[in-house]
Structure formats: C-alpha cells, structure tokens
Structure 1
C-alpha cells in the first residue's frame, strides 16, 4: 500500500511534524498502522533521516498518531555532527513499524534492556529516500549497539528495488560487494556522539554483525513486544497507542485523526539550518 506524508510547521523548527496518510487519504500512525511486513521476507521501513542529512528526525512515540519530529535536547534541535570523513548519516535511516524494544525486558544475547523505541534500520542502497518515505526492504543482518546501557539493534537492510538487492542476501554478501561499508558503519555509531562530549558507543558481539536469520528473529521478538504493549500485557512506557486501522480500544475515527493534524501549524517555509551544521569534526578512536 502506498503512503503519502503531510508536513506541518517549518522544517528545522520546534513545531515541525510529519504525518502519514494511506492511499485512501486516512491519517495513520507510522508506528502502529503501517504493517511490519510488506510481503514474504520483505519489511516496511519508515524513513526518518535520508542519507547525507544531519537533522535527527524520529517517530514521536509520545504524541497521538506518532508523527515524525526533530529530536530536541535542552531545548535545542538535534543535528548529528559530521565526523570526518562521514557527512551526516551514511545510510537512509529509519524504523520498522509495529516493533518495540521493550525496556522491561533484558535481552539474553546482550544482557541489556531495550531502548523503548521501534527497531532501527540502516538501508544501504544507492537511492536517497526522502523523509517520510515508506520503503520495502529485505533484511541482511544486524549490529547490537549498546547505547547508554540499553540494547539498540541496528538492522542492516537493502531496498528491494536497488540494483544490488538481487545479490545481497545475507550480511556476508555486504563485505563482498560493498567492501569497507560495515566497518564504516561501526565507526560511525561509535564516534557520532563524541563531538557532543559523550564517550564512544559500544557494541555487543565484539562489534561484529549477526546474520540475516538472527536479525529476523530479533525483529520477530520486537514485534511480539509491540503486540503485548498494544494489548496492555506490557506497560507502554509513555508510548501513545492511538491508531486508526487496528480496530482496538486505542483506535480513533478518520475524522478525529484529521482533527489531530488540523490542530498543528500549517506547512511553512524551511527555517535556516544552523551555521555550524556542515562543520567537520576530527574524531579519533584510541
């Protein structure tokens, strides 16, 4: 099913939001209403951050219908630093809908609890996907980032329409066809917070990726956690469960969903990016 996006407020502002609509024009939640699977072995990805861009955009779990918004810290919009030679995000970055990394659950493979977010995807294809795109991809593997003591899975995947997709079927194929890319991915996640004064991030499994089968099992587990959260079996930990298509106690009508969007500021011209957004940061792991 194709999805379209509707932006509200100005990009690079605190008021910015991006809502999703299905092909019928009905507002939907990218967290709850877009299905995890697009077909057998094919997953949906909600693109939060296009490759080469810096604005840290994410699904707003706390707000009704979970629009995209820019992350804020200490009242300021967040942009990732350009840690030489990386400019912004080095893949299309986003999330798999209908998944949830349960902060109540300690993962037996990492011995850390989940980070209370949908599972993240690094889509490594050639196309730059616009913010708000819903992309069909196949899973190749996963890294296990340990972010401030929490398990933060980073799924590696490829757009099914990418020219390399036919020959990329598992994590080991990536090094063969894209030598150095997985090493760069590990480095990026280790160093991207250092310019903000934070220590280097750590990975489980000696910073090595796990294969496709392992990754798909992780996704299935986080989908089960999402189902339990939606049913009330697990505490939602502040996540808005409002949806428009699931027909459960958290569902609202199409008119009520449209009213949520209409209460936001109208679309506006982009605010200017910060003057230092293109600054190079020279970071060394020692």
Structure 2
C-alpha cells in the first residue's frame, strides 16, 4: 500500500495535510537530521546531492540525483512531495512549533532566476535526471523579453505530482501537460540547478499552453527573509507591486519570439488563492500515485524508482547506479551562442 493523503480544513480555514505511511520505510528515501527546532528549515535540503554527466550546454548533459549516502534516486518519484512527511528510522518527525506548523513542500529547482537554458526533469528517461530541453535538434533557451532577463523566478517542479493528460480540468476544460506541476519560487535568493528547497505555497496561475493545462504554483523558499511576511497571493500583490502582473505577461509572451502564439489563461488570468493551489497540488499527487502504481502510460513517462513499494518499476540501488554510470562521463562545457543574450521587444 502506497502513501495515502488526507486533507482536512480546521475551523480557522488552515489546511492540514496528514500523510499515512503503513510501511514507512517504503516511501522514505533519505533520513532526516535530528529534529532540532532551529535546524528545521535546513534538515531536508541537506540530504540530496547531484552528479553531473555529459557536457554542460550540450544535448548529452544530465544532472542525476542521489542521497547523502550515495544512493541514486529519481527526483520525480523518490523525493517526497510534503517535506514534513519525511521520517527518520521509522520514527515520525518531530512536529514543528508555532510558525513552523505550516505544510511545506519540496521543490526541485530546474532553472535559476535570470538564466535562459530551459532545464527540466527528464520525465521519459530512467531516474528522471535534469536535462536541457531540445526542439528540432537544438537546445532550448527562453528569450529575453524586455525588460526581463531569462526566467524571472527560480523555476522548478514539485516531486510526486503529475498533470495527467487524460484528466480534464473541470474549470478550464483542458487536460494536463504530462509533466510534474511547475513552481515559480519568488524569493530573493538565486538557487542552483538541482537544489531541493522547502517552499510555502501562496497561490496558483492557470496557464493554458497550446491547449494543455499547465498550472504555475507561486511559492516562496522558507529560508527567504520575506517568507514569514508572505502567506497568501494577496500578500504578494501588496508587498511586491507589479510582480504578479509581470509573471502573467512573462508566461503570455515567452514563446512569441519562437513564432508561437501567446499563451492563454484560465480564470481570466487571475491568480487563485492558496487553498485552491493546494487542492490542485494534491489532485496532481493522486494522479502521480496512480501512475507509479500502474508503472506506465501512453505518454512515455519513465517510472523507475527505488522507494515506491507498490510500483512495478521499483528497482535496486545497483540498477539505479547502472543507469547513471551508463551515461557519458562529465566533461567540459560547450560554448553558448551569443544569440541567447539578445533582447526581444514584443
């Protein structure tokens, strides 16, 4: 039996997520540090490492994930969605106190802010490393659309989520894009590719990309100095004038320099609140659970993992190691075309 989730709303409207793990060792990928209150914001981020293979800025470049013990994992399937749900030696994690009681999510950073390379979790490759997207044989870079340089947030995904292409959203009437749910982390720190951070969810934008549902979760790194003051999408609107509007415009126009039409949005481009965002996240988590239990789908998703008990694609640590070691050895970076720095006015 895999991890089950239960969403409860308290009388104050706060969302509480309780995870049950009948066999806690099945879904536990990494151990936690001791539950010392002042280490709470650090303890989950320090247990994942990355290992580069291939040549940066080339189609063979891959960034694989492993635990601090050196066990290779899939960031898509083996890193828990809910950061608070991790356990140490089958003992439930110590509950955080006061402001730390909010449900936190693990975010996998794919693209650091201000960079252009369209890095993403390779959902159709074993162990799902991060790679640079390729279209028509060329590496993809997002255009700099005035006044922005590359991505305007740390961009990434929530693990153990999946936007099912066979599920039609009741509000937008669009099906999922076959990827993990995307996250725009709006903190002040520029993160690194492959970094796993804890985030607090603030809201969500319903982007429709060429007819597919492509939710964009708005969140903030819990280590950010502003995290304690940002608890809702309205807080972002009040304290960061223009930021949400810039986010909509960025997503609306970022494909235009490539000859594509502007993207559309559900709800007239309005951001939905935190509770709505969490409902969407948990829905995509349930779709992911069904996916890994089945082990395959028509969209070519690779479900190889080391921790999901009921998954037919669960593999041994030796099999995972073989996947990584079969990839090209890490080498020198290839040059990047000066065209990547071009500014576009659209």
What is the CA distance between 1:275 and its match in structure 2?
A: 1.7
Could you say which structure has the greater relative contact order, defined with CA pairs below 8 angstroms and 6 or more residues apart? 1
| Partner residue, 2:288 | 226
| Partner residue, 1:38 | 83
Cα distance per residue 1:71-98 (max 9 Å; x no partner): 0000000000000101000000000000
2 CA distance for matches of 1:215 and 1:134?
20
1 CA distance for matches of 2:279 and 2:266?
17
What is the CA distance between 1:234 and its match in structure 2?
A: 8.0
2 CA distance for matches of 1:99 and 1:259?
26
What TM-score does the superposition give when structure 2 sets the normalisation length? 0.80
How many residues align? The count is: 283
2 CA distance for matches of 1:251 and 1:185?
38
RMSD: 1.1
Cα distance per residue 1:195-226 (max 9 Å; x no partner): 00111111111111000000000000000000
Cα distance per residue 1:40-71 (max 9 Å; x no partner): 51000110000000000101111100011110
What is the CA distance between 1:233 and its match in structure 2?
A: 8.8
2 CA distance for matches of 1:234 and 1:194?
34
Give structure 1 regions of 4+ aligned residues with deviation exceeding 3 angstroms.
Answer: 233-236
SS in 2 for 1:145: strand
What is the CA distance between 1:236 and its match in structure 2?
A: 5.4
The answer to whether structure 1 residue 282 and structure 2 residue 345 are counterparts is yes
What is the CA distance between 1:235 and its match in structure 2?
A: 3.2
| Partner residue, 2:73 | 28
Match of 2:198 among 130, 136, 149: 136
| Partner residue, 2:233 | 171
1 CA distance for matches of 2:344 and 2:313?
45
| Partner residue, 1:272 | 335
C-alpha spacing 1:114/1:250, structure 2 compared with 1 (3 Å): same
SS in 2 for 1:276: helix
2 CA distance for matches of 1:138 and 1:23?
24
- Stretch moving more, 274-283 or 117-126: 274-283
Match of 1:117 among 179, 183, 188: 179
2 CA distance for matches of 1:58 and 1:236?
20
1 CA distance for matches of 2:125 and 2:108?
17
1 CA distance for matches of 2:152 and 2:191?
12
Within 5 Å, give how 1:204-243 maps onto structure 2.
204-232=266-294, 235=297, 237-243=299-305
Alpha-carbon contact 1:100-1:118 (below 8 Å) kept: yes
C-alpha spacing 1:90/1:236, structure 2 compared with 1 (3 Å): same
2 CA distance for matches of 1:87 and 1:66?
28
Within 5 Å, give how 1:1-286 maps onto structure 2.
1=44, 2-39=47-84, 41-232=103-294, 235=297, 237-247=299-309, 248-283=311-346
Where does structure 1 lack aligned partners over 5 or more consecutive residues? none
Alpha-carbon contact 1:229-1:236 (below 8 Å) kept: no
2 CA distance for matches of 1:15 and 1:234?
25
Tell which structure's C-alpha radius of gyration is larger. Answer: 2
2 CA distance for matches of 1:24 and 1:110?
44
What TM-score does the superposition give when structure 1 sets the normalisation length? 0.97
